[in-house]
Amino acid sequence: MIDLELLYVFGVCVFPGILRTAVPDMDRETQDQYLVVLQAKDMGGHLGGLSGTTTVTVRLSDVNDNPPRFTQSMWSFSVSELAVLGAEVGRISATDADLGDNAKLEYTILEGETGDTFNISGTNQEAVITLNKVRGKRYVGVSEGACWVSADREGWRE
């Protein structure tokens, strides 16, 4: 949509064309740029006048309007009870349809059943879950019963 407004500069009559949006809800994630061909006509657009055209590229800047979404709703991993500290337990992934910082992901383990047993690291679409280095003890079942094993060194301790 072109809205022409009359402007006088140094006595010369020019008609700046103002390109305005015509829809209220453009979505960069659906279409990130528009090519608009504009035409100007002299003689007020009357028959017999001359015209010129130009092309305008309009790029949409990003707004953070999409939350991160995990690529699966549930994940399941298994790890040996003898796994060493820092051992990789599994990898998870998430996506964000936005751009730049609006899509930069940080992962955190929330309060839950796992306590501080695990650690998660990753800043982009993939994060790695590892056994937490600061975890002091973990519970291990053995045939004779059960014992606590120190997580910061190998071996068993009653």
**Which residues of the chain form contacts with Ca ion (CB under 5 A)?**
62-66, 96, 98, 102
CB of 120 to Ca ion, least distance (A): 19
**CB-wise, 85 or 96, nearer to Ca ion?**
96
Residue matched to tokens 């936005």: 98
CB of 144 to Ca ion, least distance (A): 52
**CB-wise, 93 or 102, nearer to Ca ion?**
102
CB of 99 to Ca ion, least distance (A): 7
For 41-89, give the DSSP string: ESGGG-TT--EEEEEEEEEPPP------EESSS-------TTPPTT-EE
Q: Are 16 and 33 in contact (CB under 8 A)?
A: no
Q: How far apart are CA 20 and CA 5, in angstroms?
A: 13
**CB-wise, 98 or 129, nearer to Ca ion?**
98
Q: Are 88 and 132 in contact (CB under 8 A)?
A: no
Which residue is at the shortest CB distance from Ca ion? 98
**CB-wise, 65 or 116, nearer to Ca ion?**
65
CB of 69 to Ca ion, least distance (A): 9
Amino acid at 31: Q
**CB-wise, 102 or 119, nearer to Ca ion?**
102
Residue matched to tokens 């949409």: 60
103 three-state secondary structure: helix
CB of 39 to Ca ion, least distance (A): 32
